[in-house]
């Protein structure tokens, strides 16, 4: 489309409240956490930046209190169904990774085996003593019965030794959740009641932190948000299509690989791209493209002067010619002078340097190609970060002023936030399309990809310019402007059409640019039929009824 007016005419002027890349419903869910897609909005002032943007609700963001509630509900359910205590239910759920159905199945299949496996014994395995004192199995001191504690197995240990034992295992990490009796070879489990009774306040806090985290980390459907300092978890429905999720902290990431959200690029491509950005391979490419090895010590040397006389650094100090790599002492008038070397050209004509030059040229081309895609990848990331900052600044500082100037309620200025949100999302998508393009080798698909990418990028630039530059007239005005409604219509239209461009781009890349394959197959089929008709003497163009060729009167 050639102009912004064409773009506006190409799409209806809806408010842009639709989801980013789908056409479903905007259902909400209050089950434990808040159902959340795209950018989220938390209670209070924590994150009024973002609102829910995609339609298909395929995950729930859980706060710490939500996790506690779910954990407590699961423990209560198992306790009630199996008629066991909450402590025993916790031990079972920890062993079976918080899968309630598996606990039920295993218990009712063979209760005795499960009890032995997890350490929930039905009675003591040591005889009950008759005396008033018992000897501790760790320190071997005798204590009154009230100072001796044991778990279901009955092995006696004093409270002091128990406290030290619990403290040591808690300090060692989450392994304390699966703690067994201190008696060697005893498999009796140590439950929460022991920690509650004998551990210090600090140790109990650590224990219950491990206990809470195990509910997420042992569950294949849950993961913690990878953003630094975030304590929220994601409960994900693995049966849905997209893996991109967004936390209440506004961090968007891929649930599958936990890298930042990268739809429509797959996780393998993202892993390769991140590795390439951080690996030494590009440094080696730069060395190959811009340096040559010293003929004596083989260290790479970069040419930083115009002449061909090179001197290696200490301690080598070897002097050689940059072109032919021979000793500089062999250069003189008979070889073409000190600043020209015909030996290289002669050797090149003989094919002595073809392989080295070919490697250097390939390295240079590879480096240039990588630089092309990386610069655009990084630039869109910077633009996305800037757009997020501009959105926050607009909502916290400028929206109220604009509302006052234009005498318009802030609720009716939502179209501006929608435009910024669309920009943020589109910059993210556009960024990852450059990683996609770097690994795209099919020439026909590359042309189609670059066309779609160019259309999307062009639309995004128009939208970004409109919401960033053209809005300034209305933000700095002193009185309401009659043109503000026209600006509203234009911005809503640009938001909508940009969304459409990126929908097409995302769908095409997720389908592997299958339209190119379909077009090629269709073309091949058409050519095959045409060839078949020609070979068979059919009534094709240029053939007569009697099988001879008919001549077009205009063909002269």
The strand pairing partners of 500, in sequence order, are none
The CA distance from 149 to 30, in Å, is 44
Contact 27, 57 (CB under 8 A): yes
Polymer length of the chain: 556
DSSP letter at 128?
A: P
* Helix/strand/coil (H/E/C) assignment for every residue in 389-457: HHHHHHHHHHHHHHHHHHCCCHHHHHHHHHHHHHHHHHHHHHHHHHHHHHCCCCHHHHHHHHHHHHHHH
CB 189 within 8 A of CB 120: yes
In whole angstroms, what is the distance from residue 405 CA to residue 415 CA? 17
Residue 385's H or E segment, with its range, is helix 354-393
Nearest-5° Cα angle at 87, 81 to 88: 55
Neighbours of 96 (CB within 10 A): 21
Annotated active-site residue 307? The verdict is: yes
User: Quick one: CA dihedral 168, 215, 40, 251, positive or negative?
Assistant: positive
Query: Which of the following is catalytic: 307, 316, 407, 426?
Result: 307
Pairwise CA distance, residues 348 & 351, whole Å: 5
Structural tokens at position 37:
């897609």
Strand partners, 319: 311
Buried-state track 506-520, b at ≥16 Cβ within 10 A, e below 16: bebbbeebeebeeee
The residues annotated with a catalytic role in the active site are 307
């Amino acid at each position: 489309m050639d102009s912004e007016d064409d773009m506006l005419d190409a799409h209806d002027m809806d408010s842009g409240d639709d989801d980013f890349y789908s056409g479903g419903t905007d259902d909400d869910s209050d089950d434990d956490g808040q159902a959340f897609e795209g950018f989220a909005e938390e209670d209070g002032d924590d994150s009024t930046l973002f609102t829910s943007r995609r339609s298909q609700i395929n995950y729930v963001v859980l706060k710490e209190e939500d996790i506690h509630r779910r954990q407590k509900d699961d423990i209560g359910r198992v306790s009630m169904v199996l008629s066991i205590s909450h402590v025993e239910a916790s031990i079972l759920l920890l062993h079976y990774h918080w899968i309630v159905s598996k606990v039920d199945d295993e218990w009712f299949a063979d209760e005795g085996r499960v009890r032995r496996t997890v350490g929930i014994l039905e009675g003591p395995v040591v005889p009950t003593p008759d005396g008033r004192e018992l000897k501790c199995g760790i320190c071997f001191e005798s204590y009154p019965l009230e100072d001796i504690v044991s778990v279901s197995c009955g092995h006696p240990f004093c409270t002091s030794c128990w406290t030290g034992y619990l403290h040591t295992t808690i300090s060692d990490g989450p392994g304390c959740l699966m703690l067994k009796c201190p008696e060697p070879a005893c498999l009796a489990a140590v439950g929460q009641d022991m920690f509650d009774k004998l551990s210090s306040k600090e140790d109990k806090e650590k224990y219950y932190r491990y206990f809470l985290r195990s509910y997420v980390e042992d569950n294949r459907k849950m993961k913690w948000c990878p953003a630094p300092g975030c304590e929220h978890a994601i409960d994900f429905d693995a049966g849905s299509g997209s893996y991109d999720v967004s936390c209440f902290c506004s961090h968007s990431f891929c649930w599958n690989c936990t890298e930042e959200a990268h739809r429509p690029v797959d996780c393998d491509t993202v892993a390769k791209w991140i590795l390439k950005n951080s690996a030494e391979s590009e440094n080696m490419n730069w060395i190959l493209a811009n340096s040559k090895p010293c003929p004596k010590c083989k260290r790479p040397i970069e040419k930083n002067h115009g002449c061909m006389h090179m001197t290696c650094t200490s301690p080598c100090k070897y002097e050689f010619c940059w072109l032919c790599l021979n000793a500089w002492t062999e250069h003189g008038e008979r070889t073409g002078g000190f600043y020209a070397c015909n030996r290289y050209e002669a050797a090149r004509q003989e094919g002595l340097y073809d392989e080295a030059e070919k490697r250097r040229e390939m390295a240079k081309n590879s480096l240039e190609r990588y630089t092309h895609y990386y610069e655009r990848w990084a630039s869109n990331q910077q633009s996305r970060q800037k757009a997020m900052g501009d959105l926050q600044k607009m909502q916290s500082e400028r929206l109220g002023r604009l509302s006052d100037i234009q005498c318009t309620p802030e609720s009716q200025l939502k179209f501006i936030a929608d435009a910024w949100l669309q920009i943020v999302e589109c910059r993210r998508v556009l960024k990852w399309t450059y990683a996609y393009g770097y690994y795209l080798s099919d020439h026909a698909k590359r042309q189609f990809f670059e066309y779609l990418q160019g259309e999307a990028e062009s639309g995004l630039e128009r939208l970004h310019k409109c919401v960033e530059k053209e809005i300034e007239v209305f933000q700095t005005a002193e009185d309401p402007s009659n043109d503000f409604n026209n600006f509203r219509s234009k911005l809503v239209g640009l938001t909508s059409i940009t969304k459409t461009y990126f929908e097409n781009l995302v769908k095409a890349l997720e389908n592997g640019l299958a339209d190119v394959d379909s077009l090629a197959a269709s073309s091949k089929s058409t050519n095959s039929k045409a060839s078949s008709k020609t070979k068979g003497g059919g009534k094709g163009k240029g053939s007569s009824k009697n099988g001879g060729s008919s001549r077009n009167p205009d063909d002269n």
